[in-house]
Amino acid sequence: MTIPPRRPLTLRDVSEASGVSEMTASRVLRGKGDVSEATRIRVLEAARAIGYVPNKIAGALASNRVNLVAVVIPSLGNMVFPEVLSGISAALEDTGLQPVVGVTDYLPDKEEKVLFEMLSWRPSGVIVAGLEHSEASRVMLARAGIPVVEIMDTDGEAIDACVGISHRRAGREMAEAILAAGYRRIGFLGTKMPLDHRARKRFEGFTRTLAKAGLEIADREFYSGGSALLKGREMTEAILARSPDLDFLYYSNDMIGAGGLMHLLSRGARIPDQIGLAGFNGVELLEGLPLRLATMDACRREIGEKAAGIIAARHADPEMEGGQRIELGPTLQYGDTLRHPRG
C-alpha cells in the first residue's frame, strides 16, 4: 500500500496506454459520442489500470460547464439546514449536479464573501437561504447569469426564484391557534433577532395577530449561543420567575421549546391546561420527548427538494423561464402542549 504519488495523470496518459487519440479517450470517459464497444472497453481498462482521475478544472474551462450547485446556508449546527441539504442532495441525485455547501454564520459580510468565492467557481446554480442579502450580494447573484433560488422564506422580494414558507403567516397562525384555545397571558422566548430574519418575521406575524385581538406579549426572553436545550430551560425558569401568571410560552424554535418543556415537567406543571407551549420547526427530536411539543413544520426537506428541482430543470433546459415562486404551507401540530380550540 505504498503507491508513489506521481505526477497527476492526464488524458494523454490514457491515450498512450490505450492506443487511441485523446479525443476518443475523452469521449469514452464522458460517455458522449459514438465509440465502438471495443475501444470503449480498452480505454476504460487503461484508465482504471493507470489510476486516471480526470481533471475537472480543465474540463470545466474547456466546456464552460460546471456541475456544481452552490448552497449557501447560515449554519450547520441548526438541525434545520442538514435536512434542507438532504432534500437538495436527493433531488440532485440523478441530474449529474452536485451540491457544494457554504456557511455564513448568519453574517451578511460572510455571506457576501462566501457567495463571491462560490460564484468564482462558476456553478450551474445557487441556492441561498433567506431573502435578505447585502446589496453587493444581490448584484452578484443577479449578474451571475445562472438560476438563483432563495429558500426558507417567501416574505419579501426574490432575486430570481424562491421556495419557502411565509414566516409571518406561520407566526400569525400560531397566534390564532393559541388565542382560539383560550390562552391570554402569552410569553415569547427566542433568539436575539437581528441575526435571524425568519424568527423576526414569525415574531412580527405573531404579535400583530395578538394586537388585533387587543393583546400584547406579556413578557419575553432572548438568548444567543450555547446549548439551545439548556437555554430553553434557563429562559423558561427566568421568565416564569418574573411573570408567574403566564399561561402560554411561544418559543422561536423547537430546541429551546424542548428545554422549556423539560423545565415545566420537572416542576410538575399541568400541561396544556395550566400552561401551554409551542415551538417551531417540527424537528425529529421532538418525537422522543415525554410530551409532544406543539410546533409548526417548516417543510425543510421539501424546500430543499423543490429548490434543487428548479435548478435541475433550468439546467436541463436553459430556455426555461426563471422567477418561480413556491410558497409551501406549514401545518400546525398541536401535540400535547397546546389545547385544541374549544368544541
User: Can you give the binding site for DNA, defined by CB under 7 A?
Assistant: 8, 10-12, 20-24, 26-27, 29-30, 32-36, 38-39, 54-55, 58-59, 61-65
Q: Is 3 among the residues that bind a copy of itself (CB under 8 A)?
A: yes
Among 40, 122, 185, 220, binds a copy of itself (CB under 8 A): 122
- Torsional class of 102: left (φ above 0), alpha (ψ -120 to 50), beta (otherwise): beta
The entry of DNA, a copy of itself, none near residue 208 (CB within 5 to 8 angstroms by kind) is: none
Residue closest to 272 by CA, chosen among 245, 252, 257, 294: 294
Residue 245 CA: distances (Å) to CA of 21, 183, 186, 219, 223: 82, 11, 9, 10, 22
Among 6, 32, 270, 342, binds a copy of itself (CB under 8 A): 6
Q: Strand 325-327 and strand 161-165: pairing?
A: parallel
Give the binding range for a copy of itself (CB under 8 A) out of 12-20, 210-218, 281-289, 311-319. Answer: 281-289
Residue 307 CA: distances (Å) to CA of 124, 195, 259, 276, 302: 13, 23, 32, 35, 8
The entry of DNA, a copy of itself, none near residue 51 (CB within 5 to 8 angstroms by kind) is: a copy of itself
CA-based Rg of the chain, rounded to a whole angstrom? 26
Q: Is 51 among the residues that bind a copy of itself (CB under 8 A)?
A: yes
Residue 225 contacts by C-beta under 8 Å, 6 or more apart in sequence? none
Give the binding range for a copy of itself (CB under 8 A) out of 36-44, 119-127, 161-169, 240-248. Answer: 119-127
CA dihedral (143, 140, 146, 108) positive or negative: negative
Among 39, 82, 108, 184, binds a copy of itself (CB under 8 A): 82
User: Which residue, 213 or 316, is less far from DNA as judged by CB?
Assistant: 316
The grid cell for 260 is 422549556
Chain residues binding a copy of itself by CB under 8 A are 1-8, 51, 53-58, 60-61, 66, 76-77, 82-83, 85-86, 89, 98, 100-101, 103, 116-117, 119-122, 138-140, 142-146, 157, 159, 227-233, 258-259, 262, 266, 284-285, 287-290
